[in-house]
Every structure is written in C-alpha cells, then in structure tokens.
C-alpha cells in the first residue's frame, strides 16, 4: 500500500444513517488526510521514504512515523470495508468456513468484536485478523495499533477513536459499534484473506 488517500467505493452520504456525510467529510477528508500528509513529511530523507505503508507499520520503532503509518493503514482498511447498507455481501467460501470453525457463528464473532471495541479504554481499534498459523482472532489495540505489528494479517477493524462517532452518536460508542454491521461488506473482508 502506498501512502495515499484510498478511493471510496460509496458516495460521501452512502453510509447514512449509520455514518453521516459530515463524519465522512471529517474522518476521511480531514483526519485521514492529515495522517497521509504527516507521514509523507516525516519519511522524507529517511530510510522509510521508499517503503510501503505495511512495511513501516511492521518495522518502524514507536514514534511519529509508526503512529502516522499505522493510522494510514488502519483508516485505509476501515474506509474500504464498508458498502451502502442493503448492498453488503455476507461471508462466503473460505471466510465463512473460518468464521464457523473459530467462532461457531457470525453472530458470535460480532458479539466478541463488539465487546473488544466497546470495552477498549481510550482511543484505539478492535481488529479481526488472521494469525500466522491460520486462525481468526479478535484483538484490541490502543492508539494506532494494527495486528500486522505482531505478525497477523488484518481483516476487519472498528475505529473507536471518538472522532469516528462523536458527530453522529456523541458518547454512545456502543450504539455506533453495533450499527456498523449494517455497512460491513464481508466480501471486502474476504478479499484480504
Ligand atoms: Mn479514525
């Protein structure tokens, strides 16, 4: 992945009422744009200048370059995993098999991921990822954390920084998290396997 803004596969108001156009305008248009700009400035003249974003997240020491690369990667995965409600595709094939094997059902996966997101103290992310030995796992990462940092393949994420939900849900993080399932496009998740 290059350090650049991902193209949205939906109109800016396409995720309403789950995520408003105003939230997309700020979260995508301002927060993510700032991470992309900051990362571009920070890597200039360093050994990370030619690296892709995943490589920086996996290898950079804690600090500004790692934090901004993490947020570019996290938000790119976040904004490209959604589709217009009613047009989202369910898990199929290998992804559906892994979900059944490792969680028993899609509902149980959702429940565990909601718990991870709602229970995270402060800013961060809940993740579904694939471990190096091929098992699905749910983890909770503070700040710019991404499971790639510990060798797992990131598949699906929930952003619980307040900027992700405060315009639309104010302090009701749980309501936001539970509503997100209506716009998760599981085929986009499967494509990351
Ligand atoms: Mn965010």
76-129 per-position pLDDT tens digit: 999 999 999 999 999 999 999 999 999 999 999 999 999 999 999 999 999 999
Distance 101 CA to ligand 1 centre (A): 31
Q: Is residue 8 part of a domain?
A: no
Q: Is residue 108 part of a domain?
A: yes
CATH assignment of the domain containing 165: 3.55.40.20
Q: Is residue 2 part of a domain?
A: no
> What percent of the chain stands above pLDDT 90?
100
Q: Is residue 126 part of a domain?
A: yes
Give residue-wise pLDDT tens across range 141-166: 999 999 999 999 999 999 999 999 99
Place of tokens 């028993």: 104
Provide the residue range defining the domain that includes 84: 19-193
Distance 131 CA to ligand 1 centre (A): 24
Distance 93 CA to ligand 1 centre (A): 30
Predicted local confidence at residue 69, as pLDDT: 98
Distance 170 CA to ligand 1 centre (A): 15
pTM of this prediction? 0.97
Q: What angle do CA 57, 61, 62 make, to 5 degrees?
A: 90
Q: Is residue 10 part of a domain?
A: no
Instruction: Give the total number of structural domains in the chain.
Output: 1
Q: Is residue 91 part of a domain?
A: yes
Q: Is residue 72 part of a domain?
A: yes
Tokens of 116: 């991870």
Q: What is the rounded distance in angstroms from the CA atom of residue 96 to the CA atom of residue 102?
A: 10
Residues paired with residue 137 on neighbouring β-strands, in sequence order: 129
């Amino acid at each position: 992945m290059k350090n650049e803004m991902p193209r949205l596969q939906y109109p800016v108001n396409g995720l309403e009422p789950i995520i408003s156009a105003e939230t997309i305008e700020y979260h995508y248009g301002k927060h993510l744009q700032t991470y992309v700009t900051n990362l571009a400035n920070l890597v200039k003249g360093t050994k990370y200048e030619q690296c892709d974003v995943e490589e920086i997240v996996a290898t950079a020491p804690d600090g500004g370059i790692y934090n901004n690369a993490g947020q570019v990667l996290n938000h790119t995965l976040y904004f490209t995993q959604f589709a217009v409600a009613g047009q989202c595709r369910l898990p199929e094939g290998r992804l559906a098999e892994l979900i059944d094997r490792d969680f028993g059902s899609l509902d149980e996966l959702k429940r565990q991921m909601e718990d991870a997101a709602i229970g995270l103290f402060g800013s961060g992310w809940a993740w579904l990822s694939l471990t190096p030995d091929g098992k699905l796992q749910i983890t909770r990462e503070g700040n710019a954390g991404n499971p790639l940092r510990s060798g797992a393949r990131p598949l699906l994420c929930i952003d619980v920084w307040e900027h992700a939900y405060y315009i639309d849900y104010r302090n009701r993080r749980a309501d936001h998290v539970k509503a997100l399932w209506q716009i998760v496009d599981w085929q986009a998740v499967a494509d990351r396997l």
